[in-house]
Amino acid sequence: MKDQPTACAPADPLAAWQFWQVPVFGAWMAVSQAVLKRSSELMTELTAFTVQRFHEDVALQQQLAGCRDAGEMQQVWSAFAQRAVDQYGRELARLGEVAGRTGQDLSSAMQVGIAKQW
């Protein structure tokens, strides 16, 4: 008596491979789209932050060049350092938000990608 395929997977190895390949490929495509979307968002955020910090660094050099004494230089440098710490902290928080959305997108993409194929 020939084995009958089950409802879970076909008995034929090629059919079984195709049975599992389609949903996995669909999920992989959905995940790839989610990763690309958030990678683009991440790169845009990092580029904007880097440009902003570069302008801050250039401004610091100009301010330091205009200082008349060491006390004024210390004040300029201290204000710059405090702004930098604040900006890096906010940027880290924004990147954490993007990472959180990435995790949510990946989870949703896996579920949707597999559901579309089954």
- Helix (H) or strand (E) holding 3, with range, is none
Question: Is position 3 within any domain?
Answer: no
Q: Mean pLDDT over residues 17-26, rounded?
A: 65
Question: Is position 32 within any domain?
Answer: yes
Q: Count the domains in the chain.
A: 1
Question: Is position 7 within any domain?
Answer: no
Binning the chain into helix, strand and coil, the percentages to the nearest 5 are 85, 0, 15
> In Å, what is the CA distance from 25 to each residue of 22, 35, 45?
5, 15, 30
3-class DSSP state for residue 66?
coil
Phi, psi of 12 (to 5 degrees): -70, 130
Structural domain that includes position 69: 18-117
Question: Is position 5 within any domain?
Answer: no
CB 27 within 8 A of CB 115: no
Q: What is the pLDDT of residues 101-111, one digit of tens each?
A: 888 888 887 77
Cα separation, 34 vs 57, in Å, equals 34
Quote the pTM value.
Answer: 0.67
Question: Is position 109 within any domain?
Answer: yes
Crossing angle for the helix pair 70-117 and 13-65, to the nearest 10 degrees: 170
Question: Is position 55 within any domain?
Answer: yes
Q: What is the pLDDT of residues 61-86, one digit of tens each?
A: 999 999 999 999 999 999 999 999 99
